[in-house]
Amino acid sequence: MAKEKQPFEAFSETAERTVEQNMEKARGVMENYFSFLQNIWGSNDLIEKMKTYTARNISASADCVHKLSQAKDFQEAFQIQSEFMQKQFNSFSEQAKSLGEVYTKVATEASKPFRMST
């Protein structure tokens, strides 16, 4: 008789396929979105930071799903998920602070009166 797959084994195969298929889609959507923003706002530090952070967050999510797909049981999956959430919370805090600083700088520069050199 064929051995039936454990729930985590079935999840592993499905998760790996899904992540691979959706990572390329996510990157494409991200590039389109930031191209749109660059057309509106031009290229600046804020958009570059947003692109960097978005790419990092997508990568971190993919890594988490990969680790989850390797989990042997619920306890290990829960530990992986808990660690991911803590890392992302810390990362989000740092990213929000950094984006706030860059936004303030960009907004300040944009509000300066235009001066022509004579």
Model confidence pLDDT, tens digit, residues 72-90: 888 999 999 999 999 999 9
User: Looking at residue 1, what is its pLDDT?
Assistant: 42
Q: Check the CA dihedral 82-83-89-92 and report its sign.
A: negative
Residue 117 domain flag:
no
Number of domains in the chain: 1
Condensed to tens digits (0 to 9), the pLDDT of residues 38-69 reads: 888 777 888 889 889 998 998 898 899 889 88
Task: Report the distance separating Cα 69 and Cα 10, nearest Å.
Answer: 9
CA 11 – CA 27 distance, rounded (Å) = 23
**What pLDDT does residue 2 have?**
47
Handedness of CA 10, 11, 16, 20 (dihedral sign): positive
What's the mean pLDDT when you consider all of the chain?
A: 83
Tokens matching residue 88: 């992302």
Q: What is the mean pLDDT of residues 25-33?
A: 84
**58: in domain:** yes
Query: How does DSSP classify residue 101?
Result: H
The band of 4, judged by pLDDT with boundaries at 50, 70 and 90, is low
User: Considering the domain boundaries, does residue 1 fall inside one?
Assistant: no
- Give the largest Cα separation in the chain, rounded: 89
Whether 66 maps to a domain, the answer reads: yes
Say which residue, 5 or 107, is predicted with more confidence: 107
| Residue span of the structural domain in which 43 resides | 8-109
Q: What is the pLDDT of residue 94?
A: 96
